[in-house]
Structure 1
Amino acid sequence: MTGKISVLMPRLLLSAIMTMALFSCPAQAFQNGPASVAPVAKKLVDAVVNISTSQTVKGPSGVPLPKVPKGAPFEDFFDDFFNKRGGVPNSDRKISSLGSGFVIDGNEGLIVTNNHVIEGAEEIEINFHDGSKLKVDKVLGRDTKADLALLKVTPKKPLKDVKFGPSATLEVGDWVMAIGNPFGLGGSVSLGIISAKSRDINSGPYDDYLQTDAAINKGNSGGPLFNMDGEVIGVNTAIISPTGGSIGIGFAVPSDTVANVVDQLKQFGEVRRGWLGVKIQTVTDDIAETLGVPENSGALIAAVTPESPAAKAGLEAGDVILKFDNKDVTSMRGLPRIVAQAPIGKAADVELLRKGERKTLQVTVGRLDDGDDTDSDLKEQGSESPAPGSSIIGLKLSALTSELRRKYGLDDKIKGVVVESIDPQSAAAKKGIKAGDVIVEAAQEAVSDPGDVAASVDKVRKAGRKAVLFRVEDGKGDLRFVAVPIS
């Protein structure tokens, strides 16, 4: 017995010391995760609101009424029962939905929520934590691309409001708190961390979501995500869930984006985004090798819109944009977000790589109109000159003729060498090149006959590179860069 006690006593003593140390730590030990979030939640809950909407829809209700055969014993009973209760299959009916929001200006009565929370609503009512209610006077503006809306109510007394904090300084692992109206249970508080940043969930061209494991469910949409200083650092917008409930993967629009959108909705009632006028694609491993740039960095320009700000500034297809307005372009999808947030009319520096040489050009940011294409990505999909129709790295190429233009539906403006057929086992086929495509450039040099292509391939091979970079145009006029292995 004595031996057992002597073994256990040091462990018990160590446990007691660790416990005492834990609870005697200074307050700063909990600065990133306090022992309780009750003080923070208590200050914020009154600024978070429940949003209920209603709208009238036409057509049959969700549950079909029973059909009784003519002359059946209970025909009169069913007719009387359902007619008295208004059970008409094609009658109009009102449906309602619930969401969340938060007050950003208590004196003016300004409330932020998701656009999808109020989409199609005829009436919008704001329910406050103290039980009071206010009708929304006006939707000041909405932005479908960022899924945000700004509402206006007339407060009888100043409302409790909250402020935006910076989302750019957040780090993965930082504590965050969500308050909202999940499943109609208003004032619900959940705690978690930032699980990831800059998430692209394919919901729009400017996806840049914060990911959190704080519980977010149906009804939390439009509600705030707070840091431990009580600042709004995101708007809870979406979840991934096979069950319909939280599995710890939720997404919030970062506050830096929200604040910018809200400011414009207040000023203009709409969002005015910057526009460059380029089609871009990712710098993949093989393209990076051909261009001599780090992989997965920058944005490769595949095409420039005529008369666009990019065209006027001298940007060209094949340029790799590394910085825009002194902000690093760390990925292809980062460029549209940076440009969209740039002030209209601002002269911004563009740092780029062109044929191995770094250049800095200045572009005046344009305004993205409804008729303009977003600065968006394109989906990835010693040698003698050979005679026309010869095969080069699995491609049978020919100079463009009127007959070939008609055959493949190619516009007269398209210049280059047409692909007549392709070896299905070749590297080019695996990269998505197909018959009817036109090679416009090879190794960033314009080509007009198969000999030009062969010479470029030979030049690249002698330089010791593993792939040749083609610029390819299809019958629809879409341009893209394709790096085709040659070894």
Structure 2
Amino acid sequence: MTALLMLVVAMFWVQGAAARSLPDFTELVEENSGAVVNISTTQEVPAQGRAMPFDERQLEQLPEFFQDFFRGPHSPFGGGSPGQVEPRRSMGSGFIVSSDGYVLTNNHVIEGADEIIVRLNDRRELPATLVGTDPKSDLAVLKIEDGNDLPVVRIGRSKDLKTGEWVLAIGSPFGFDYTATAGIVSALGRSLPTENYVPFIQTDVAINPGNSGGPLFNLDGEVVGINSQIYTRSGGFMGVSFAIPIDDAMNVFRQIRDKGSVSRGWLGVLIQEVSRDLAETFGLKRPRGALIAEVMEGSPAAQAGLQAGDIVLEYDGEAIVMSSDLPPMVGRTPVGETARLQVLRGGREMMLDVEIGQLPEEGQQQAAAPAPDAAPSSAPLGLTVQPLPADLASSLSVSGGVLVSNVARGPALEAGIRPRDVITELNRQEIRSVEDFRKVVAALPKNRAVSVRVVRQGMATYLVMKP
């Protein structure tokens, strides 16, 4: 009996110790709620509805009840007179970063807004003006009008975050003001398909519509991120949310505050991931780095001597593990500063210095011209190639290559090569003509993967083919 009692006491002691080891967020929430704000916006949009089933003359012949139904403000057919507008309201979160009223939030929270109102937790509602936005990082800076001696958050360092540490979010999900939710950092440096310049913090903190733009705190009460996106199939939280690192956000904030716009570093290359097969063909022991598929003419990369087929292994001493690591590093580099790159070329590592340029407003994209008719030349890879017409080569800015006119079942099809692709390199050897192509194909090793560089719709990429 005594042993059983001791066992029960031990179990309760273990449970109590576990509870005591969990973080207590009460003080953190109390200290920081004053600097977290609710942002409501109003946008005037043209009233829209379905087409009216009657013209005005026919409508006047209907009973008054039906006229009110079709013309009323809640009519499914738009209602009102032509040109009428209706207010569209949305809600989000933000936080105050300076006592004179500068507020950070997401660009998508205030995009298109005609009126912005910031509500503090003491129930004050203050109008705010838009200082500037940066759609590429989904950030916006607001200024509370007549802001003076306002509460502010403490800014931390997202670069010090570690996977597994506790974080807390404060925001207004579904309009429920000052909701606190907690979780852990699930991963760092996440790249999303629609974002190239933000290495997102992934968390399992419950984030829902209305949390956007709100702060993510560490246990020291410092802001380490801005809650921005969720991954969902239902429209609600599913355990995966993303925050913009505060280091990147404050860089954007300072540029918008000081000069009204954001400039980013630019290398001028198209990159792709190094897969296991590509790593083998390029002589890497494991997949790593960013493979340069194309170097843009006149770009900083071209002037520094970077070439298609180079693999960037390090940028200013920081290792490139995934290709998605490189764009944020370049984007954060001040324009005009020199960056040092470690590059793998032809199986040999080398160092190159690149003076970083400014990211152009519009991407330099090229479109492929229609494939001309010409006498094809077959090759034993399941594809047919033909000479590359001069006008197409000029439009693609390539000095040589062969045009793929047909792909049958075989290694080429399995590699992802398609008709109208332009092959400029095979097995790390330059292809300038059909004759070059035939010679390289004849000498291809058997039962070993080889790399193929193709230009498709103006974009270069490397594929892996297994003859």
- Per the TM alignment, residue 215 of structure 1 is displaced from its structure 2 partner at its CA by 1.6
2:462 is the alignment partner of 1:481:
yes
Letter in 2 for 1:18: V
Q: Deviations over 1:4-59 (max 9, x none)?
A: x3663342132244356557x7xxxx4xx41x210110000000001111121112
- Per the TM alignment, residue 425 of structure 1 is displaced from its structure 2 partner at its CA by 2.0
Aligned to 1:384: none
TM-score, normalisation: structure 2: 0.87
> 1:67 and 1:208, CA in 2 relative to 1: closer, same or farther beyond 3 A?
farther
CA RMSD in angstroms comes to: 3.2
- Per the TM alignment, residue 241 of structure 1 is displaced from its structure 2 partner at its CA by 3.1
2:214 is the alignment partner of 1:228:
no
> 1:459 and 1:85, CA in 2 relative to 1: closer, same or farther beyond 3 A?
closer
Letter in 1 for 2:425: E
Q: Distance in 2 between matches of 1:484 and 1:77?
A: 72
Contact between 2:101 and 2:147, CA under 8 Å: does it hold in 1?
no
2:135 is the alignment partner of 1:135:
no
Quick check: 246-255 or 37-46, which moved more?
246-255
Which residue among 100, 105, 109 is the counterpart of 1:117?
A: 109
- Per the TM alignment, residue 477 of structure 1 is displaced from its structure 2 partner at its CA by 3.7
> 1:344 and 1:196, CA in 2 relative to 1: closer, same or farther beyond 3 A?
same
SS of equivalent residue, structure 2 residue 228: strand
- Per the TM alignment, residue 171 of structure 1 is displaced from its structure 2 partner at its CA by 2.2
Q: Distance in 2 between matches of 1:80 and 1:299?
A: 64
Q: Distance in 2 between matches of 1:419 and 1:84?
A: 61
- Per the TM alignment, residue 82 of structure 1 is displaced from its structure 2 partner at its CA by 7.6
Contact between 2:36 and 2:121, CA under 8 Å: does it hold in 1?
yes
Aligned to 1:95: 88
- Per the TM alignment, residue 94 of structure 1 is displaced from its structure 2 partner at its CA by 1.4
> 1:146 and 1:21, CA in 2 relative to 1: closer, same or farther beyond 3 A?
closer
Aligned to 1:126: 118
Aligned to 1:456: 440
TM-score, normalisation: structure 1: 0.84
> 1:484 and 1:132, CA in 2 relative to 1: closer, same or farther beyond 3 A?
same
Q: Distance in 2 between matches of 1:66 and 1:180?
A: 47
Q: Which runs of 4+ in 1 moved over 4 A?
A: 19-23, 61-74, 80-87, 405-414, 457-460
Aligned to 1:381: none
SS of equivalent residue, structure 1 residue 161: coil
Percent identity over the alignment is 37
Aligned to 2:404: 419
Q: Distance in 2 between matches of 1:71 and 1:236?
A: 50
Contact between 2:94 and 2:105, CA under 8 Å: does it hold in 1?
yes
Quick check: 218-227 or 200-209, which moved more?
200-209
Aligned to 2:305: 314
Q: Distance in 1 between matches of 2:36 and 2:260?
A: 23
SS of equivalent residue, structure 2 residue 123: coil
SS of equivalent residue, structure 1 residue 461: coil
Q: Distance in 1 between matches of 2:354 and 2:391?
A: 39
Unaligned runs of 5+ in 1: 375-387
Q: Distance in 1 between matches of 2:344 and 2:425?
A: 17
2:219 is the alignment partner of 1:237:
no
Aligned to 2:29: 41
Contact between 2:60 and 2:67, CA under 8 Å: does it hold in 1?
no
**1:180-329 aligned within 5 A:** 180-329=171-320
2:48 is the alignment partner of 1:60:
yes
Aligned to 1:385: none
Q: Deviations over 1:308-332 (max 9, x none)?
A: 1011101111111111122221111
Q: Distance in 2 between matches of 1:412 and 1:310?
A: 16
Find the structure with the greater CA-based Rg: 1
Q: Deviations over 1:68-90 (max 9, x none)?
A: 99699971234468868795265
- Per the TM alignment, residue 246 of structure 1 is displaced from its structure 2 partner at its CA by 2.4
Letter in 2 for 1:357: R
Which residue among 158, 164, 174 is the counterpart of 1:173?
A: 164
Letter in 2 for 1:286: D
Contact between 1:61 and 1:89, CA under 8 Å: does it hold in 2?
no
SS of equivalent residue, structure 1 residue 337: helix
Q: Distance in 1 between matches of 2:209 and 2:405?
A: 53
Aligned to 1:468: 450
> 1:122 and 1:8, CA in 2 relative to 1: closer, same or farther beyond 3 A?
same
> 1:193 and 1:300, CA in 2 relative to 1: closer, same or farther beyond 3 A?
same
Q: Deviations over 1:97-152 (max 9, x none)?
A: 1111000001x21000111111111111110000112111x322100011100011
